[in-house]
Structure 1
Amino acid sequence: MKQVKPEILEAFCLNILKKHGVESQCAQTVAHCLVDADLCGVSTHGVSRLAIYLERLDAGVVSKENRITIERESPAALVVNAGNSLGMPAAKFTMEKCIEKAREAGCCFATVKNSNHFGAAAYYTRLAAEQGMVGICAANLTSKIAPYGASEPYMGTNPISIASPGEEGAVVLDMAPSVVALGKLIMAQKLGKPIPEGWALDKDGHPTTDPAEGRKGSLLPIGGPKGSGLAIMIDILCGVLSGGKFGPHLHDLYGDMQNPQEVGHFIGAIDISHFVDVDIFRSGVAQMSREIKSLRPAEGVSEIFMPGEGSDNRRRKNLEQGISLPDEIFGELLAIGKACGVVFPEE
């Protein structure tokens, strides 16, 4: 493992993105989002994704420019066309617009079409929570989950995040409707490790512990019909409602270097002050947190955590101690930098 200061890692990624011709503000957003995921311990959505983003940029299937536009707008709704821009700037732009409009209308919801992979959904919902609002963010991806009762995939590992402000920090749910996010298979394959049985099926519908075979097949939904239903509803909000694509009509981040992904997002902000005093809300969330954490732990459990609490703890630790990157990932970053003339700075 290589220990890296987050600010150095972010500057390194930023310089690489700029060297590849990415517009400056977009590059800053992408670099910050990637390192933020690693700070939170979500390494599957961190700097390990930089290589595939660059591959798609260089292949010309993702715009290096900022082509994000608002197609339709009303007091509490937005329709955003990402214009095949990088997903992170598109999602951040949209959440910031939703926050701005929610201050007036009480809430604002937006669809985004013609976008790309946007990393960890929690990044965007935390933006709302930091402004005293409830944030909601979801995305659809190409087919990786088989609908309940089917033997082949249709919906993607469509993530959803909801974040609420509290007294000390945000309460943040960030989850995929599959047993694990696809990124865990990607990371396992990069590190040459097997995956637990129960995560994925191979292309013939058989359980597998080989991440490469699991990526060719399908991921299992959480709770059978419940996870399947959640994935379908996210696809409706992100794909159908946006006027974009959904399910197998989307294009794969890794397997298709000829076509844009064309993924969609559903993003919203709810201004708490339009419903209840923010301090009362924060106090209520704090009370709930105290009561949940004071419950008798189950056997073998030392502490009960609220959603997002583990990520916050890892963020604080990693800000102090630095981010630990597997040697394989750090070596990959060094090779990417060397290829475009960016040297990793000495700490």
Structure 2
Amino acid sequence: MTTLSLSEARTLVTAVMTRAGHSPADAGIIADHLLDCELRGLTFGGLARALSIVERIRATPAPPRPMRVVAETPVSATVDAGDQVGYLAGMRAVELAMDKARAHGIAVVGARNTWYTGMFSYYLEKAADAGFAGMIAGSGPAVVAPHGGTEGRFGTNPIAFGFPAEPSPVIWDIGTSAVMHGEVVLKARLGEKLDPGQAYDSGGLPTLDPQAALAGALGVWGGHKGSGLALVVQLLGMMTGADAAPPGISDCGFFVLLVDPGSLTDAAGYRRRVTEYAASIRATRPVTGGDPVRVPFDRSVARRAETLRRGAIDVPGTVVATLRREAGHAG
């Protein structure tokens, strides 16, 4: 592992994204998202993802187009992201949704023609800090097999919900696959194996080989219940106009619903009641010998605070070396 200070990590990713064709402002947006993944210990979505972004850009002959709103009402909008990376499309969609929810109490915004949308909790934390409750669901290429099957029909299809609270929001953010695509790609880069039951090869046989899994299908999370949820997420993503089974890494659907609690109840009172309810959950008597009960997002908040105190992150050496080459740095 290579230890990088947080400023070194941000500078490195920003340089790589700028060299890949992004403006300095857009490179900074992407770097902030990837670094937040690292702060929270989600390394598969962190600096290693910058390499996947570069590889996707190089593999696409046509340059991305400007994002544009192709349909709009006072409380809704659809964004054609022009094949730009999802970290940028997601921020555009969420900011648009916050503006509309602020004005009208509720908003639903979709983005399509994008890819690699990142952690939905990243966006919902910003929305919840601004006082909104909301949901984000995202569809993608058919890489996950439904329950009982061995061929891809779903994307990894994350879904997340966020609610304002103190000192941090309550956010539940999950992927509906047994293993996230980014984790498989990172394990392939590092020569590591998958866990049993996570994937199938192209012939439908269980595999621990991440390369074989990428050529086959990932398993679904949660049995038939998770499979049903994955189907719902795919259908929500398709509501943005995204394809049901887009080719390669393309045309992910990003579906955002935000609500201003003040349109239904006293907003400050709602935030207080969510805070009190979360505290009551944490105060639940744990099972014998068990850890204290947590609320979703507690682990991320604690890990991020710990990493910020340390001021550095540990990144696989091969990832850092490749990023430095991509940034044009010697050595």
- TM superposition score category, shorter chain reference: over 0.9
1:180, 1:298 → 2: CA distance? 27
Identity across the alignment (%): 28
Q: 1:61 to 1:310 in 2, by over 3 A?
A: farther
For 2:82, what is the secondary structure of its paired residue?
Answer: coil
Q: 1:38 to 1:61 in 2, by over 3 A?
A: farther
Alignment of 1:10-29 (within 5 A): 10-29=10-29
For 2:110, what is the secondary structure of its paired residue?
Answer: strand
Gaps in structure 1 of 5+ consecutive residues: 254-260
- Structure 2 residue 324 is the aligned partner of structure 1 residue 326: no
Equivalent residue number for residue 9 of structure 2? 9
User: Residues 107-139 of structure 1: CA distance to partner in whole angstroms, max 9, x if unpaired?
Assistant: 101111111211212111111011011132222
Which 10-residue stretch deviates more, 216-225 or 308-317?
216-225
Alignment of 1:45-84 (within 5 A): 45-61=45-61, 63=63, 67-84=66-83
- The match for 2:240 among 239, 242, 246 is 242
For 2:268, what is the secondary structure of its paired residue?
Answer: helix
User: Residues 138-158 of structure 1: CA distance to partner in whole angstroms, max 9, x if unpaired?
Assistant: 221211211233331111111
1:137, 1:89 → 2: CA distance? 15
Q: 1:63 to 1:135 in 2, by over 3 A?
A: farther
Equivalent residue number for residue 294 of structure 2? 305
Q: 1:59 to 1:203 in 2, by over 3 A?
A: closer
User: Residues 244-296 of structure 1: CA distance to partner in whole angstroms, max 9, x if unpaired?
Assistant: 2123xx1223xxxxxxx122110121111112222221221222222211222
Q: 1:62 to 1:197 in 2, by over 3 A?
A: farther
Equivalent residue number for residue 31 of structure 2? 31
- Structure 2 residue 282 is the aligned partner of structure 1 residue 284: no
Q: Is the 8 A contact 1:46 1:119 kept in 2?
A: no
User: Residues 157-193 of structure 1: CA distance to partner in whole angstroms, max 9, x if unpaired?
Assistant: 1111211111110111111111221222222222222
Letter in 2 for 1:152: E
Equivalent residue number for residue 43 of structure 1? 43
Q: Is the 8 A contact 2:16 2:50 kept in 1?
A: no
Q: 1:62 to 1:172 in 2, by over 3 A?
A: farther
1:200, 1:151 → 2: CA distance? 8
- TM-score with structure 1 length normalisation? 0.89
1:83, 1:309 → 2: CA distance? 35
- Structure 2 residue 142 is the aligned partner of structure 1 residue 143: yes
Q: 1:161 to 1:7 in 2, by over 3 A?
A: farther
Q: Is the 8 A contact 1:111 1:266 kept in 2?
A: yes
User: Residues 46-85 of structure 1: CA distance to partner in whole angstroms, max 9, x if unpaired?
Assistant: 11011121122233457456x1111111111111110111
Letter in 1 for 2:32: H
2:46, 2:285 → 1: CA distance? 35
- The match for 1:252 among 248, 253, 259 is 248
Equivalent residue number for residue 113 of structure 1? 112
Equivalent residue number for residue 273 of structure 1? 262
1:246, 1:293 → 2: CA distance? 40
User: Residues 211-263 of structure 1: CA distance to partner in whole angstroms, max 9, x if unpaired?
Assistant: 22222222222222211111111111112x1222123xx1223xxxxxxx122
User: Residues 17-38 of structure 1: CA distance to partner in whole angstroms, max 9, x if unpaired?
Assistant: 2223212322221111111111
1:132, 1:110 → 2: CA distance? 18
Q: 1:343 to 1:126 in 2, by over 3 A?
A: farther
1:326, 1:15 → 2: CA distance? 18
2:272, 2:95 → 1: CA distance? 25
User: Residues 76-112 of structure 1: CA distance to partner in whole angstroms, max 9, x if unpaired?
Assistant: 1111110111211111011001001101211101111
1:237, 1:72 → 2: CA distance? 17
1:212, 1:187 → 2: CA distance? 10
1:281, 1:270 → 2: CA distance? 12
> Could you say what the CA RMSD is over the residues aligned between the two structures, in angstroms?
1.8
Equivalent residue number for residue 127 of structure 1? 126
Gaps in structure 2 of 5+ consecutive residues: none
Equivalent residue number for residue 209 of structure 2? 210
Aligned length: 330
Q: Is the 8 A contact 2:16 2:323 kept in 1?
A: no
Alignment of 1:147-158 (within 5 A): 147-158=146-157
Q: 1:111 to 1:61 in 2, by over 3 A?
A: farther
1:274, 1:46 → 2: CA distance? 36
Letter in 2 for 1:269: L
Letter in 2 for 1:70: V
Equivalent residue number for residue 257 of structure 1? none
Which 10-residue stretch deviates more, 143-152 or 165-174?
143-152
For 1:213, what is the secondary structure of its paired residue?
Answer: helix
Letter in 2 for 1:19: R
Letter in 2 for 1:39: L
